[in-house]
Amino acid sequence: MEFERDESGRRVVTLAPAGWTRFVSAGFLCFWLVGWAAGELFALTMLFSIVGMVFFPETLAAWWPRLKVPTGAGTVWTLGFLGFWLAAWTFGGVMAMLAVGRALRGRDRIAFDGSGIWFTAGVGPFQRARSLERQAIRRIALRRRGGVLVAETGEGTVLLTGMGSLQDRERLRDELKQALGLEGPEGAALAPPDEPPPGWKAARRDDGAESLATDLRARVPGAVAAWLVAAALLATLVAIGGGLASQDAPDAAAVVGAGVVSFMLLGALAGAGWLTFVRDEWLVRRGALEHRRCLAGRVWTRRFDSPVLEIERNVDGEGDEFFHLVVQGAAGRRRIASALRDPVVPRDLGLWIAARTGADLKLPAELKAA
């Protein structure tokens, strides 16, 4: 790995894939893509056959496969399902192709100086560029499986690169920390933030405690999406019901489809209702942490005196990392916040709460380095 300088005087390094494991992942994805191609061809054939037999039966070639096409609402349900499945399946295949290209021929270009970092990642013509200003960067560290290089900001963790060898990324980490003025002793104490991390809001109460809750603005997109999904499922259920009502003998497949859609509709309504009407908040005061759940004027409380906070790191069967901020006390144990792969929000939230309650915060070893 060699450092150069660009026309702006920034130091530049380009990292390429390294290690034999990239061939294993690329080989697996290529094997998966064979099945993907078969599934793509089958779904396209089904879709064109149904559309052709319903709308253009006279234009179908004699050799084109003929299918038994459901009538009425069944046709709408089948076409909608095939269209959604095909879109998701196509997207997954394109992403897999790009992943193969990244594993074999990808390049990450990182330029930096004292004012920030500019990095470009991709393969061939498919490139993604991004920059980070110095004031937005809090730490440079190696994280997750394989020690990928990340930059921690006030908005979360940003992946810089997973290319090159571990030694290359360790050297780049040290060079970035020196250039950005982020050098510090490993294991140094982490300073608590002045404000809760993004997605959380705090307000001072008359009794001196602080009320901590998720930002309502962060809940709006999820609630809107859940209501839209519920509306779409309800419309689908009404269409299927109309088709069943017009049949002398109900079609078994349509009945099963109505049951599946009804089950999904109940789940969507439950999620939408939870995001819209249920509010969780934490009362933060010295020596105590109290959880409050509010719904329709009723409040359920649970108080943790002399609380102990901990960041738990769990890895699922697919290798994804989950970070959970939990509180323990005489009242038991409860999860406060969780994040997939990115420990910044749970950790900073734990630091913020610990500074105000006087609680101990236990961190995994990989999160203690400054």
pLDDT per residue as tens digits for the range 329-354:
888 999 999 988 778 889 889 999 99
Q: Is the pLDDT of residue 60 over 90?
A: no
Enter the pTM of the model: 0.65
Residue 65 has pLDDT above 80, yes or no: no
- 300: helix, coil or strand? strand
**CA 271 – CA 230 distance, rounded (Å):** 9
Gap between the Cα atoms of 293 and 15, Å rounded: 49
User: If we measure between CA atoms, which residue out of 130, 221, 115, 167 comes closest to residue 1?
Assistant: 167
Mean pLDDT computed over every residue of the chain: 85
Q: Please identify which residue in the block is written with the tokens 């509709």.
A: 265
Distance between CA atoms of residues 258 and 262, nearest Å: 6
Q: Measured between alpha carbons, how far is residue 230 from residues 88, 150, 224 in Å?
A: 19, 38, 10
Contact 260, 247 (CB under 8 A): no
pLDDT at 73 over 70: no
The distance from CA 212 to its chain's CA centroid, rounded to whole angstroms, is 23
User: Out of 141-150, 175-184, 218-227, 264-273, which region has the weakest mean confidence (pLDDT)?
Assistant: 141-150
Nearest to 183 by CA among 120, 117, 137, 118: 137
Span 251-292, pLDDT tens digits: 777 788 888 989 999 999 999 999 899 999 999 999 999 999
Q: Which amino acid is at 320?
A: D
Bridge partners (DSSP) of residue 295 are: 298
Contact 179, 139 (CB under 8 A): no
For 24-54, write each residue's pLDDT tens digit.
Answer: 989 999 999 999 999 999 888 877 777 766 6
Model pLDDT for residues 100-139, shown as the tens digit of each residue: 999 999 999 999 999 999 999 988 888 999 999 998 888 8
Question: Side by side, which strands form the sheet with 210-214?
Answer: 200-204, 210-214, 279-285, 288-295, 298-305
CA–CA gap between residue 207 and residue 187 (Å, rounded): 37
Give the tokens for residue 84.
């959604």
Please count the other Cβ atoms lying within 10 Å of the Cβ belonging to residue 349. 24
DSSP state of 192: P
Distance CA 169, CA 70 (A): 57
323: nearest Cα among 334, 312, 310:
312
8 A C-beta contact, residue 324 and residue 311: yes
pLDDT at site 131:
94
pLDDT over 60 (residue 69)? no
Over residues 170-201, the pLDDT tens digits come to 999 999 999 998 865 444 456 788 888 888 99
